Structure 1
Amino acid sequence: MTLTTITHPVPYYSQWESAALVPDFISGTRAATDPLWQKSGADSAEEYAFWAPRICGMACLRMTLDWLGHEVPPSVPLVREALDAGAYVRDGDEVKGLIYAPFAAWAAEQFGLYAQCRPDLPAGDVQAEVAAGRVVLLSVHKSIRTLEPAPPQRGGHLVLVVGAGPDSVVIHNPSGLPGRSQQFHHVPLADLSRFSAGRGVVLGPSTGKSST
């Protein structure tokens, strides 16, 4: 366990282009009304509206790329590449993903990242990875944005762990609430256990090899 709090200076990206409007979007306002949708690189507002609620993983990847000094592609062209790599599987209006192993392999090959798929990722390992200079794309329930007392399940949404200390982690949440739980949100380990599925992908600077 880390003895001091370490927080990496990772820039924040929402999965919606207008981060200030996240409360509206998660309450049911259609993403097609996002005034900044064209920044996503989508061909239409409808294409953007389809993908924006589904690309928490791409938002986490974009944060990581920016932190490590890489060019940051727009979100929708990025998700198209991830589809081609098998990190998502689309069947009509249904999308399966993020699928960790092909995502990690693609992130390593395409961007030269250290990317390790971790189907078993307890909190202590998350802390150790942050202490080692990496970030963690972690599966949690979306209600982590409010630290809901009784989430209905663990997992289903992806956040980026950018910091850790003896008793907490620090997350960037692509669907967090502005001014409350988007950037550098401290989550006590006791709370994290209620939301985390204990799996994800470790990302960081290239070490010359990655494991999936």
Structure 2
Amino acid sequence: MTTDATLVHPVPYHSQWASPELVPAILAGTMSAAEDPRWPEYGAESPAEYAWWSWRLCGMACLRMALEFWRKSAPPAMHLAAECLDAGAYVRRADGLDGLIYAPFAAYAERRWGLIAESRPTLPRTELPALIGAGRLVLLSVHPTIRDADPEPPQRGGHLVLAVGVTPDHVVIHNPSGLPGRSQEFAHVAWQALDRVYAGRGVVLGQPE
């Protein structure tokens, strides 16, 4: 599938870590997220709290991008995460975190932020050009290896990126765990490459007219 149109929305970028330039070292394990000097900007109470949550808040990074695009500002990631916990979009367990859970997240985004938000457990990527053309931004469930174009990812899904544009041959994404200068902001992902990592589900966000 291709589209004849090229449209990219000028959406601000946020990493799921406070320092986007440190993402390669954090992902490689050569430094701990707790060593990120900008951790207070996240809204966390300690480096340890920041480090735990930062690996899990790709969805909050996507929401922050959408809010800055449409509302011109966004709260810190931890503030949004706390609200999503209260809304049932995250469920904290002793050994981890369940979420982002799409339906309660969409309800929260509509109620709290006045956005159009649609949970899409089934979202064919063939719909993306029309959605982007209609002014929407789309959270897509992909495998994290979308950041380095792994030709054989182990599965689809598990990570959220924000689709901000389309070209005839690509979807254009902001990737909260992308690599600086390569796959963070306005990263062009070929449709065929998307097929390898995309789980076929997501959340569609929009601005009411």
> Which band: TM-score by shorter chain?
over 0.9
What corresponds to 1:43 in structure 2?
45
Contact residue 169 and residue 188 of structure 1 kept, 8 A: yes
For residue 87 of structure 2, what is the amino acid of its counterpart? A
Residue 78 of structure 1, CA deviation = 1.1
* Whole-angstrom distance in 2 between the partners of 1:123 and 1:167: 13
What corresponds to 1:138 in structure 2?
140
Contact residue 41 and residue 76 of structure 1 kept, 8 A: yes
* Whole-angstrom distance in 2 between the partners of 1:108 and 1:179: 33
Residue 3 of structure 1, CA deviation = 1.9
* Whole-angstrom distance in 1 between the partners of 2:185 and 2:141: 17
* Whole-angstrom distance in 2 between the partners of 1:100 and 1:81: 14
What corresponds to 1:123 in structure 2?
125
How does the TM-score come out when normalised to structure 1? 0.95
Residue 134 of structure 1, CA deviation = 0.6
What corresponds to 1:26 in structure 2?
27
Output aligned runs, 1:1-212, within 5 Å. Answer: 2-28=3-29, 29-207=31-209
Runs of 5+ consecutive residues of structure 2 not aligned to the other structure: none
Query: What is the identity percentage for the equivalent residue pairs of Structure 1 and Structure 2?
Result: 58
* Whole-angstrom distance in 2 between the partners of 1:93 and 1:74: 24
Residue 156 of structure 1, CA deviation = 0.2
* Whole-angstrom distance in 1 between the partners of 2:123 and 2:39: 34
Structure 1 vs Structure 2 CA RMSD: 1.0
Contact residue 2 and residue 128 of structure 1 kept, 8 A: no
Residue 127 of structure 1, CA deviation = 1.7
* Whole-angstrom distance in 1 between the partners of 2:49 and 2:205: 28
Residue 4 of structure 1, CA deviation = 1.3
Give the aligned length.
207
Residue 70 of structure 1, CA deviation = 4.3
Residue 104 of structure 1, CA deviation = 0.3
How does the TM-score come out when normalised to structure 2? 0.96
Contact residue 2 and residue 131 of structure 1 kept, 8 A: no
Deviation digits for residues 46-101 of structure 1 (CA, Å, limit 9, x no counterpart): 11111000000000000000000243000111101111100010112310100000
